[in-house]
Homo-oligomer: A and B are copies of this chain.
Amino acid sequence: MFAKPGNKESLEHGKTLTPNFDANGLIAAIAQHAETNEVLMIGFMNADALHLTLEVGEAHYFSRTRQEIWHKGETSGQVQVITELRVDCDQDAILMKVMPEGDGGACHTGFRSCFYRVFENGKLVERP
């Protein structure tokens, strides 16, 4: 499905996407709002989830707790339509610029971003 990761040089400067999955077959994937640049969430993808993400153009994650592929928004309507997909230097992380559909939220708690709390003076404070 994807070519095997090469050496450092080809990972960093090659023109081929060769995702460097970890021992569990996963790669981190960050979703960032395409217009506001707010970081919405982070999830993990296995090869199938990354393949589906690229094919469909919508974020698919692999749930580590449920051990299954998860098409973000399938039940909530909060589909993440991908406008740009980047890979990092050693190809072990993905950055997606996304336009969220539905109510525009990304988090199951109802907040726009999963990062709705700041750590401040030793406590977590909600500041969505």
Contacts and interface: CB of A to CB of B under 8 A. Distances in A.
A89 B41 CA distance: 9
Interface residues of A, number: 38
A14 interface: yes
Given A38-B37, A39-B30, A86 B118 contact: yes
Contacts of A38: 37
A108 B8 CA distance: 12
A95 interface: yes
Interface in A30-46: 30, 32, 36-39, 41-42
Interface in A82-105: 84-89, 93, 95
A87 B16 CA distance: 33
A16 B119 CA distance: 9
A96 to B, nearest CB: 10
B117 A86 contact: yes
Q: Which of A42, A85, A88 has the most CB of B within 10 A?
A: A88
A56 interface: no
Contacts of A109: 12, 89
Interface of A: 12, 14-17, 22, 28, 30, 32, 36-39, 41-42, 54, 64, 84-89, 93, 95, 107-109, 111, 114-119, 123-125
